[in-house]
A and B are shown apart, each in its own frame.
Chain A
């Protein structure tokens, strides 16, 4: 049974059809890439899965739960986490706190417990802190734990975004152009990182990416969107030789 099952997903912004009849069956552990020109509706698909928008039509089932109509924080608790195309860290918080915040949904104590420093509060805070530090260590960010997030260099900010998403303890991770703005050396490191977290955290991943090297290098299956329509689907090799894809990317003249 697929972990994520999307049927007939369609979304309008006013009169603009951003996504039309998007379908997906993703098995646990699979790494699927979504590519397409700017404005093809890729990020909209992520926003629909994570509950930022409510789809105009269609169904999204994750692990047996219907996601349509659920709030974003409820969807996170079900096991879906994401990163963002433009970095959206809490830049006013420390690196450590950016990761701690992702544990919020799973802490149980209430405000009065914090005010009176009750044992359950102290225990939970200590646990969260320890696990956040552990994760930062795994992600190579331990030395910067107390830095304010905005002071990190760009590459590490990207890495922290992934760490923060992992701290949500997802089964499905949505990566939105993680290689944007990276140089070739950083891109190679990123590909290695994605492969590694996938193993380490037993993840199912959807990756939106413009860098063909990344998509072709690590995805098992690729979907191509253009103006909200799915124009192609297949293995990296199939996609590279698909004439409709070449047309969408290079324009008709090029053929």
Chain B
């Protein structure tokens, strides 16, 4: 029983990170029907931003409490990552907005490869650790061990997801995003600046991925290839939940978190986890191609 609860906690922790990244895929798809394959690598870059900013802040200001350094680093990482995503959209995707979708998708793959190799060439392939923002404290509660880091990851992710859900459902910006996603012809004729809304969507998606990147880096090592591995899992999360659907991406993230943690528990080896994840994707695509929370879309004529 303790072992099960332990694994559930681990799955929630990993699932939060997948969910945070999946949100970026789903938001961009929702607004311009583009699968932004560079998103996983944007996430990877964010972990390096967190690495450098965190290291710089800690080395300059040892007297700051850990929580302040953590928040400062997170804000700077969110800002830098959002800027990167907005620039990518502006210079790589926007010129292709009228082009066939496949051109933009291939461009996205190219941008991802560029980010990956650029990081590899400038920083190198060695795995790194993010600086420690807090001392790790482990609690044991009726046989279940959990750390303060784990609690922070799950709590921060939950707050971010709630905030995003509120923004999209209740604020003018969220409404504008839904309007642009519904009808790009009419939205500007009601005074909604489509280009700005698309930029905001990329910025939001990337800054949420940056939060995910920082949380991820507090537990695991970071390297230039992580964007592919984690990115694919997050992408599957978005598709499983129903791409274009924000709550779907959150749900999908947690499902994939559970798949990853529980596969080695049930099957003989952890190497089966990709097999299970992709099988889940394939089965779902056959029976419910629009995902768990997605709705079938009638082709607009």
A residues adjacent to B (C-beta < 8 A):
50-52, 71-73, 76-77, 81-82, 84, 88, 90-93, 97, 100-107, 111, 114-115, 121, 124-125, 128, 164, 168
Give 18 pairs: A residue, B residue, CB < 8 Å, sorted on A.
A52-B185, A71-B188, A73-B189, A76-B190, A77-B191, A81-B189, A88-B183, A88-B185, A88-B186, A90-B178, A90-B187, A97-B175, A101-B176, A102-B190, A104-B192, A111-B173, A115-B163, A164-B190
Given the contacts A88-B185, A88-B186, A168-B191, A125 and B171 also touching, CB distance less than 8 Å: yes
With A101-B175, A114-B171 as contacts: A71 and B193 at CB distance below 8 Å: yes
Residue pair A101, B167 in contact (C-beta under 8 Å): no
CA distance A110 to B194 in the complex (A): 15
List residues of chain B with CB within 8 A of the CB of A125. 170-172
Q: Residue-by-residue, is B15-51 near A (CB-CB < 8 Å gives 1, otherwise 0)?
A: 0000000000000000000000000000000000000
A72 pairs with B188, CB closer than 8 A = yes
Given the contacts A101-B175, A111-B167, A125-B171, A73 and B193 also touching, CB distance less than 8 Å: yes
B296 → A minimal CB distance (Å):
14
CA separation between A102 and B187, bound complex, in Å? 9
Query: Which residues of chain B are within 8 angstroms of A76 by Cβ–Cβ distance?
Result: 188-191
Residues from chain A with Cβ under 8 Å of B194 in the complex: 73
For residue B200, CB closer than 8 A to chain A, the reply is yes
Distance in Å: Cβ of B299 to nearest Cβ of chain A = 16
Instruction: Using A76-B191, A111-B167 as known contacts, list a sample of 15 further A-B pairs with CB atoms less than 8 Å apart, ordered by residue number in A.
Output: A71-B188, A72-B188, A73-B194, A76-B190, A90-B187, A101-B175, A101-B192, A104-B172, A104-B175, A105-B191, A114-B167, A114-B172, A114-B173, A168-B190, A168-B191
Interface assignment of B204: CB less than 8 Å from any CB of chain A: yes
CA distance A92 to B191 in the complex (A): 18
Contact of A93 among B178, B191, B203 (CB under 8 A): B178
Seen from chain B, the residues whose Cβ lies within 8 Å of a Cβ on chain A are 163, 167, 170-173, 175-176, 178-179, 182-183, 185-194, 200, 203-204
Task: Name the B residues within 8 Å of A50 (CB-CB).
Answer: 189
Question: Hey, which chain A residues are within 8 Å of B178, CB to CB?
Answer: 90, 92-93
Which residue from chain B places its CB closest to the CB of A47 in the assembled complex?
Answer: B189
Contact (A111, B188) CB under 8 Å given A71-B193, A90-B182, A103-B172: no
B192: chain A residues within 8 A (beta carbon): 73, 101, 104-105
Q: Do A82 and B189 touch across chains, with their CB atoms under 8 A apart?
A: yes
Residue with the greatest number of chain B CB neighbours at <10 A, chosen from A107, A114, A128: A114
Q: A50-B189, A115-B163, A115-B167 are in contact. Are A101 and B204 (CB under 8 A)?
A: no
Q: Nearest CB to that of A107 among chain B residues?
A: B172
Q: Please name all residues of chain A whose beta carbon is closer than 8 Å to the beta carbon of B193 when the two chains form the complex.
A: 71, 73, 105
CA separation between A104 and B176, bound complex, in Å? 7
> In the complex, how many angstroms separate the beta carbon of A156 from the nearest chain B beta carbon?
18
Residues of chain B with a CB closer than 8 A to A93's CB:
175, 178-179, 182
Which residues of B have CB within 8 Å of A100? Answer: 172, 175
Assembled-state Cα–Cα distance A73/B170 (Å): 22
- Which residues of B sit under 8 angstroms from A111, Cβ to Cβ? 167, 173, 200, 203-204
Q: Can you name the residue of chain B whose Cβ is closest to the Cβ of A50?
A: B189
- Tell me how far the C-beta of A30 lies from the nearest C-beta in chain B, rounded to whole angstroms: 22
CB distance from B75 to the nearest CB of A (A): 10
Contact, CB under 8 Å: A92 / B189:
no
Closest to B197 in A: A104
> Shortest beta-carbon distance, B25 to chain A, in Å?
20
Do B163 and A101 have beta carbons less than 8 Å apart? no
A71→B194 CA distance, assembly (Å): 10
Task: Provide the bound-state CA to CA distance between A164 and B172, in Å.
Answer: 15
Chain A residues whose CB sits within 8 angstroms of the CB of B167 once the complex forms: 111, 114-115
How far, in whole Å, are A190 and B200 apart by their CA atoms in the complex?
39
- CB neighbours (8 Å) of B187 from chain A are 90, 101
Chain A residues with CB under 8 Å of B185's CB are: 52, 88
B191 neighbours in A (Cβ, 8 Å): 73, 76-77, 102-106, 168
A42→B182 CA distance, assembly (Å): 26
Flag if B190 contacts A101 (CB, 8 Å).
yes
Instruction: Give the 6 A-B CB pairs with smallest separation, nearest first.
Output: A105-B191, A72-B188, A76-B191, A88-B186, A73-B188, A114-B171
Cβ distance B169 to chain A, nearest Cβ, rounded Å: 10
- Which residues of the partner chain A approach B183 to less than 8 Å between Cβ atoms? 88, 90
